[in-house]
């Protein structure tokens, strides 16, 4: 990797624990969300479309979070004041995630980092990576609800590089499936026994 990793981004760390989710369970989950090799190819195309638009995408999403006090609260200190260094650190890891979603193989390491992202939204690991004193958990209901804005806001960016309507639709559908798949994986530590 030529670009240095953002602070706290441990995708490529050798010490990253394996996911409790098996490769077979991942395959079944992919089948359940109708994720196919064609979606992987469409995401690879999306990666090329999005690579130079990451800042614009993130600014859109942060604008959305920032305009809803009940959401920005999860980046705030105990007095409800947003922690700028926390927002900034997550911003850079979020940017990596967009490209990882498009370009990384969905293999065991990807699964392991999926579990890590899940835990970072829960009391097990939230705040620890950035050493902040914020609220201890992002409620699962908001992770699920976010699938819509994270998907709907992506379409104009996918359409910006002159691809046919059919290709934009393929990329957008693949993105929607992947985000749904990932949030399903992230629900695991919230549900544990029932997962």
> Which residues of this chain interact with ligand HEM, rule CB under 6 A?
8-9, 65, 71, 74-75, 90, 93-94, 97, 117, 120-121, 126-127, 129-130, 138, 142-143, 146-147, 150, 179, 183
Minimum gap (Å) between residue 116 Cβ and ligand HEM: 7
- What SS3 state is found at 79? coil
Minimum gap (Å) between residue 164 Cβ and ligand HEM: 27
Minimum gap (Å) between residue 131 Cβ and ligand HEM: 10
Nearer to ligand HEM, 168 or 185 (CB): 185
Nearer to ligand HEM, 103 or 163 (CB): 103
Minimum gap (Å) between residue 94 Cβ and ligand HEM: 5
CA distance 34 to 177: 7
Cβ neighbours around 38 below 10 Å, total = 11
Please, which residues have CB within 8 angstroms of residue 28's CB and are 6 or more apart in sequence?
Answer: none
Please, which residues have CB within 8 angstroms of residue 23's CB and are 6 or more apart in sequence?
Answer: 107, 108, 111
Task: Return the CA Rg of the chain.
Answer: 16
Nearer to ligand HEM, 83 or 163 (CB): 83
Per-residue 3-state assignment (H helix, E strand, C coil) for 124-166:
CCCCCCCCCCECCCCCHHHHHHCHHHHHHCCHHHHCCCCCCHH
Q: Which of 132, 136, 129, 70 is nearest to 94 (CA)?
A: 129
Nearer to ligand HEM, 35 or 74 (CB): 74
DSSP state, 59?
A: H
Minimum gap (Å) between residue 74 Cβ and ligand HEM: 4
Nearer to ligand HEM, 35 or 97 (CB): 97
Nearer to ligand HEM, 71 or 163 (CB): 71
Minimum gap (Å) between residue 184 Cβ and ligand HEM: 11
């Amino acid at each position: 990797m030529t670009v240095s990793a953002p602070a706290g981004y441990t995708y490529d760390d050798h010490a990253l624990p394996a996911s409790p989710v098996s490769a077979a369970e991942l395959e079944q989950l992919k089948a359940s969300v109708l994720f196919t090799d064609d979606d992987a190819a469409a995401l690879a195309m999306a990666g090329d479309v999005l690579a130079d638009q990451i800042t614009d995408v993130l600014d859109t999403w942060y604008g959305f979070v920032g305009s809803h006090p009940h959401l920005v609260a999860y980046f705030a200190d105990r007095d409800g004041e947003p922690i700028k260094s926390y927002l900034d650190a997550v911003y850079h890891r979020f940017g990596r995630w967009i490209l990882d979603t498009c370009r990384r193989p969905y293999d065991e390491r990807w699964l392991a980092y999926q579990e890590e992202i899940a835990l970072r939204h829960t009391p097990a690991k939230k705040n620890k990576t950035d050493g902040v004193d914020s609220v201890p958990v992002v409620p699962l209901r908001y992770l699920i609800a976010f699938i819509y804005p994270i998907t709907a806001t992506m379409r104009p960016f996918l359409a910006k590089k002159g691809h046919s309507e059919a290709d934009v639709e393929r990329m957008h559908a693949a993105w929607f499936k992947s985000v749904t798949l990932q949030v399903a994986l992230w629900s695991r530590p919230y549900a544990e026994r029932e997962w």
